[in-house]
Amino acid sequence: MHMLKKIGFYIVAKFVPLLVIMLTTYFFSRWLTPSQYGQYSLVISIASGLSIIAFQWINVTLGRLIPKSSADVKIKIINSGLILYFISSILVLFLCFIFGEFIEDNFKTSSYLIALLAVALGGFELSQRIFNSEERVLAFGIFQGIRGVVFFSFALCFYYTEYIYPGVVYALIASYILLSTPNIYKLLFLRKKDFIPNSIKEIAVFGFPLILTYVLLYVLNSSSKILLTVMLDETYTGYFSLGSDTVQMIIISVMGVVQLAIYPIVIGAYNKNDEDRYNIFSKSNQWVLLILLPVTAGFIGISKGLFYFLLPEEAYLRVIPIVPFLIIANLFVQLKSLIFDYAFHISKKNGKQFLPVFCGAFTSVALNVMLIDGYGLEGSAFSYCIGCFVYMTMSYLIGRKIFKYPSIDVGFLFKVTVSSLLMLLIVIQIPNDSIFQFVISIVVGALSYIALITTMFYPQLKKYINSNN
């Protein structure tokens, strides 16, 4: 019940940002041509890659160190992370602006945009990590909602000028900076006694080995977009991005609720004995499967109605065939992140994540090169999906060698899978020709899944209720 309360609380915090994401997709798919959206997506993709190299190692290490620290030490570790972020930001801006002086004028603006966006994105993700680790999720949800409104408002201003692109990128940078202002304020007033020099070293030692792993993860996630641009053109990248960005943001938002709810519980298991840790992870994995599988099935069921509402007709016809591949690919990534990742963190062998992500990235790139010419968008989406499957599978195989995973109850998995598939069959029977029908399909899907899963687990539920009376 404690888990249900946490999930309900986080749903409220995530709802407004999710609504803003869908509204942004609705308007941007109409304001920007597919080619412009492709350029916009590529700038974001490259900036994300640069942000991963410069800042992700700080974020991941803070996520590992903060929960296990006392209140006083926690504040000093956060301040140490802010100092490292500031140093990395200066280096990123300096290198990108120097690089911009040696390239053609046509690409200088993009170079500067990428540098600013990478730093702003790094600050945003650092803020998110700090808010989540302190369990101030509602506050962060409000901030995210404000950020979305600022982003949309700035973009709307540029819409009425001839600078809709790169205006939307400027709007995105401004919105990320807004969410980073609490950390910028902290940085301005830091003193020597406010941080621990050794913690800076600890963050660097733990985080630096992860940089190459995250670069390869970026290759896995972005290879389809980049290769579509190189082998075809930016129009195809725009269509692919409209599908992948929307799917990824919705699934991350929904499953982020689950991750936020189980994160403190799982982190607390790090310092438990083997038996207690095993039980905690076993329950955590069941919660993930209980929510992730129906979310995936339900998303596939309502995807035609959702994308028909979000996208103009031409874009809808090009995007909808690749959506199931993209949804299933994100299922594999979420399974890896929410179940198999903890083996590497607990064993403190993060460097071993290199091989799974290398195999996934290599598979995605190789298949994209082979399939894009003949199959276009569908070939690229399929390549990405298989790359994610390889990534998840290799993470499981290597993770089980360094940490004893709780075995997944086959009977439990069977019941959840059957309930999810039956719910999918029910949902796809409902027409999605209007907003009303679309909402009805979501409500019917949720209620049917609850009824099915309750029926499947009726003996266990009855036993649980009787034991509490």
Return the domain boundaries, the chain: 2-408
**208 — pLDDT class (breaks 50, 70, 90):** low
> What is d(CA 322, CA 317) in angstroms, rounded to the nearest whole number?
10
What do you get for the CA distance between the two ends of the chain, in Å? 15
**249-252 contacts at long range (C-beta below 8 A, 24 or more positions apart):** 249/18, 249/21, 250/18, 250/21, 250/22, 250/299, 251/295, 251/296, 251/299, 251/327, 251/330, 251/331, 251/334, 252/330
Q: What is the DSSP annotation of 185-218?
A: HHHHT--GGGS-HHHHHHHHHHHGGGHHHHHHHH
Q: What token pair was written down for 385?
A: 């999906």
pLDDT per residue as tens digits for the range 145-164: 777 777 777 777 877 776 67
Structure tokens at 434: 């209007």
Rg from Cα positions in the chain? 22
pLDDT tier, 423 (very low <50, low <70, confident <90, very high otherwise): very high
Q: Where are the alpha helices (DSSP H) in 134-273?
A: 137-159, 164-188, 197-207, 211-231, 234-269
Which pLDDT belongs to residue 424?
92
Range of 59-73, 157-171, 182-196, 424-438 with top mean pLDDT? 424-438
Residue 317: count other Cβ atoms within 10 Å of its Cβ.
13
Global confidence as pTM: 0.78
Residues 6+ apart with CB under 8 A from 216: 354, 357, 358, 360, 361
How is 415-437 classified by DSSP, letter by letter?
HHHHHHHHHHHHHTTS--SSHHH
Q: Report percent pLDDT > 70 for the chain.
A: 72
User: What's the whole-number mean pLDDT along residues 92-97?
Assistant: 82
Q: Taking the mean position of all CA atoms in its chain, how far away is CA 225?
A: 17
Quick one: tokens of 311?
């996208």
Dihedral over Cα of 180, 262, 15, 424: its sign: positive
